[in-house]
Amino acid sequence: MKPTHAILLVEDNPADIKITQRALRESDLAVDLIVLRDGQEALDYLLRLGPYADDLSWRSPDLILLDLNLPRLSGQEVLTRIRAEAELNTVPIIVLTTSHRREDVEAVYAAGANTYIHAVRAGVADDPALLAGNGAAADGPRVNPFPALLWTNLLCPTTRGRSGTA
């Protein structure tokens, strides 16, 4: 029996992939996480091209987590192509990035992203001050606590208050 939901993660950073895998594993949600590491591979998968044309395990994603800074094709380019495809244009897309540029945020919303999440820098997700919800990492500048709190409180209720590595 296939998991209830298919989530497509388009991410080239191995640490971010591990964090997402860990969060979903610990959530006990019925999820099939499909990981692709660059923008061209993501489009090939979504459009069922190349090695995905006859792939019997292919699943249409229920949600796409899309890194903005990808090799080969940027997340912005992938987003624009997805929204141009009738069979894909209703799939929710969450754009993940470390960019602070207002232009990036405006561009992804204009291209059809459902939401944009500023990714917390490595190591911050386990910072007790951040997990307490005040947004300030003990050893660094103020950051957006939403991604770490999302994974910790919504997807990983069994890890609340715990720290560790992915």
Question: What integer is the mean pLDDT of 114-122?
Answer: 72
pLDDT tens track for 149-161: 444 443 444 443 3
CB count in 10 Å sphere of residue 84: 11
Residue 165 has φ and ψ, to the nearest 5°, of -115, 160
The answer to whether position 86 is within a domain reads: yes
- Same domain, residue pair 150 and 89: no
pLDDT tens track for 76-99: 999 999 999 999 989 999 998 887
**3-state SS class at 116:** strand
pLDDT tens track for 15-55: 888 888 888 888 778 888 999 999 999 999 999 999 999 99
Give the separation between CA 38 and CA 78, rounded to whole angstroms.
Answer: 10
- Same domain, residue pair 34 and 87: yes
- Same domain, residue pair 107 and 83: yes
- Same domain, residue pair 20 and 77: yes
- Same domain, residue pair 98 and 32: yes
**3-state SS class at 44:** helix
More confident position, 58 or 1:
58
Question: What integer is the mean pLDDT of 63-70?
Answer: 92
